[in-house]
Structure 1
Amino acid sequence: MTPSTTTTQVVPTRWQRFRASYLFYSFKRDRVAQISLLIFVALVLAAFSAPLIAPTDPYDLAQIDILNSELPPVWMEGSDPAFLLGTDAQGRDLLSTILYGARVSLLIGFGAVMLQGLLGILFGLLAGYYGGRIDAVLMRIADIQLSFSTLMVAIVVGAIFKATFGNLMFGEVAVLILILIIGIAEWPQIARTVRASVLAEKSKEYVDASRVMGFGSARIMFRHILPNTLSPIFVIATVQIANAIISEAALSFLGLGMPETQPSLGSLIKSGFDYIQSGSWWITLVPGLVLVVLVLVVNLLGDWLRDVMNPRLYKG
């Protein structure tokens, strides 16, 4: 008798499945996406490691000397080697304030997009699945809000918060308020995207089968339809992170965001704007360049992700 042989099926790990995916394949061939991700990860790690790697703490008044104000970067004459990128008008080390400020801007950017996603997914699912009056009311609200520029809506909401909370616009409270402002101002983009995807999905057979099996509307929306609409959500969320960071910088520059004593990229740009004519250009230019690079790499990653999620557009 021939001994029976048993075959062992090898189940690939998640990493192996990811390496075999089209996403990983396209990423390996796209040098721009690789460089953008590398720069973005480096900026995020540097920002959130600010308490460990920053030369000074810009929140600690004992480490700030007004006599060191407006010192140029080390490659210019009259600089101090202790301040690599120079100092601002308050005598704070500019490198330290940029690291701490980038952390605040990233927190606001990610937090605002999470709030946008929560509101946009909820309203988009309700509008697309139920239709009728719910769809009409929610989408008309979105249309009215979209008829104004995002920044205008953020300025109006920011002014209301500023008048309401006044001196409370500091520290963690200011960060939370800016997350609310930007999240409320930009949720319609995600809502309309989700609604369009839901309209395409709800007529498919698996949704009809779920109804026949007696599943409730909430389960059908969140357990069955939502997972099939995540691709466009990921793409638009990536772009919205860059928009949220820009909105924070604009609001801070207009005096409706983070105060100058609480570093963010926007407040740093604003704090040095009055000193450009006096020759202290680095106070505004250096954090401005960091902001441009951060937004650029996020947008490049968003463009790559959009092309990958739609292979017909991908030319890698």
Structure 2
Amino acid sequence: MISARAFTTRFLGDPVAICAGTVALVLVLMAATAPLIAPQNPYDLMQLDIMDSEMPPSWMPGGDPRFLLGTDAQGRGVLSTIMYGTGISLLIGLGAVAVQGVIGVTLGLVAGYRGGWIDSFLMRLADIQLSLSTLMMAIIALAIFQTAFGAATYSQLAIPILIAVIGIAEWPKFARTVRASVLAEKKKEYVDAARVIGLPARLVMFRHILPNTLTPVLVISTIQVAEAIMIEASLSFLGLGMPVERPSLGSLIRSGFEFIFSGSWWITLYPALVLIALILALNLLGDWLRDTLNPKLRRGED
């Protein structure tokens, strides 16, 4: 296991990791402090004026200094909607990965430790789910929910529903990763010692084996957050994700897409650039963590 000092040294010695970490940190802080620093609250109808709709960025002819990146069709400042939308996208991404982690890690531990028919059943279940498109499963589930309960109910429950759907659809990636680690760990002496002193299987799995499988879980979590955000953005662009009145980055891109050819390109462009920067930063951090924490992939010794 790499030490904290070596970890920090490697991070500070890698320009790509520094840039990715800085971008991710700036976007996270921007989203977390949006209610305090955003020029406008896009959810407050009292702050909106339809006469401000489709204003260009402030440095262009017809722009307004109040709206640095222009406004959308509802008169909301694009900068403000990006700040709030980034927070919603991150919330869904982190929530979905938490669901994936709880389900996947638990089933992976059980499958790897128990073995036998339990392992075969859970892994075949994971194989079946991996063979299906996550986006297609999410589209079907969300379409059924909206049809059954109506758009108004869905609008109120959109965030927890998206977290649950994306989380349940992606758990096999965690399960297979953890299972592979458990198969290696359960043959070691400390596991045999725990069994000899009579510890129940539940304690052996969660108290002794699980802490030694967290390194690959950390790596895959970073990448899965990016993937969950991308899936939510795709669903929102198709009209099945976040509603327009509660914008995520995906729904912001969708709401401005129809205005691109009319000249209001900024409504879609700036949320798209933020989404690309966020996904790229998280993926680069995930790749760096994988290379740093996996001894087989390290180029040098500490």
- Interval containing the TM-score (normalised by the shorter chain): over 0.9
CA shift, 1:53, in A, is 0.4
Matching residue of 2:153:
168
Kindly indicate whether the alpha-carbon contact (under 8 Å) linking 1:57 and 1:63 is maintained by their aligned counterparts in 2.
yes
Number of equivalenced pairs: 297
User: Aligned pair 1:303/2:280, yes or no?
Assistant: no
CA shift, 1:215, in A, is 0.4
User: Aligned pair 1:253/2:270, yes or no?
Assistant: no
CA shift, 1:139, in A, is 1.2
CA shift, 1:204, in A, is 1.3
Alpha-carbon separation, structure 2, partners of 1:170 and 1:315? 49
User: Aligned pair 1:18/2:43, yes or no?
Assistant: no
Kindly indicate whether the alpha-carbon contact (under 8 Å) linking 1:241 and 1:298 is maintained by their aligned counterparts in 2.
yes
CA shift, 1:270, in A, is 0.5
Kindly indicate whether the alpha-carbon contact (under 8 Å) linking 1:169 and 1:258 is maintained by their aligned counterparts in 2.
no
More displaced stretch, 81-90 vs 127-136: 127-136
Matching residue of 1:268:
252
More displaced stretch, 22-31 vs 159-168: 159-168
More helix, by proportion: 2
Larger radius of gyration: 1
Kindly indicate whether the alpha-carbon contact (under 8 Å) linking 1:265 and 1:287 is maintained by their aligned counterparts in 2.
yes
Equivalent residues in 2 for 1:200-215 (5 A)?
200-215=184-199
Large movers: runs of 4+ above 3 Å: none
Kindly indicate whether the alpha-carbon contact (under 8 Å) linking 1:66 and 1:90 is maintained by their aligned counterparts in 2.
yes
CA shift, 1:75, in A, is 2.3
User: Aligned pair 1:143/2:133, yes or no?
Assistant: no
The residue identity in structure 2 corresponding to 1:272 is G
User: Taking structure 1 as the reference length, what is the TM-score of the superposition?
Assistant: 0.91
User: Aligned pair 1:124/2:108, yes or no?
Assistant: yes
Alpha-carbon separation, structure 1, partners of 2:195 and 2:131? 37
Alpha-carbon separation, structure 2, partners of 1:163 and 1:113? 26
Alpha-carbon separation, structure 2, partners of 1:203 and 1:274? 58
Give the secondary-structure state (helix, strand or coil) at the position aligned to 1:90: coil
Alpha-carbon separation, structure 2, partners of 1:250 and 1:188? 21
Alpha-carbon separation, structure 2, partners of 1:132 and 1:164? 40
Alpha-carbon separation, structure 2, partners of 1:59 and 1:127? 46
More displaced stretch, 144-153 vs 59-68: 144-153
Matching residue of 1:191:
175
Alpha-carbon separation, structure 1, partners of 2:193 and 2:147? 52
Kindly indicate whether the alpha-carbon contact (under 8 Å) linking 1:128 and 1:195 is maintained by their aligned counterparts in 2.
yes
Q: Percent identity?
A: 63
Pick one of 26, 35, 50 that aligns with 1:66. Answer: 50
Alpha-carbon separation, structure 1, partners of 2:224 and 2:200? 32
Alpha-carbon separation, structure 2, partners of 1:204 and 1:164? 51
CA shift, 1:185, in A, is 1.1
Give the secondary-structure state (helix, strand or coil) at the position aligned to 2:51: helix
Alpha-carbon separation, structure 1, partners of 2:197 and 2:143? 50
User: Aligned pair 1:237/2:221, yes or no?
Assistant: yes
User: Taking structure 2 as the reference length, what is the TM-score of the superposition?
Assistant: 0.95
**Alpha-carbon spacing, 1:315–1:282, altered in 2? closer, same or farther (3 Å):** farther
Matching residue of 1:3:
none
Matching residue of 1:100:
84
CA shift, 1:165, in A, is 3.2
The residue identity in structure 2 corresponding to 1:296 is L
Alpha-carbon separation, structure 2, partners of 1:126 and 1:163? 37
Alpha-carbon separation, structure 2, partners of 1:275 and 1:261? 17
The residue identity in structure 1 corresponding to 2:4 is F
- Unaligned segments of structure 2, at least 5 residues: none
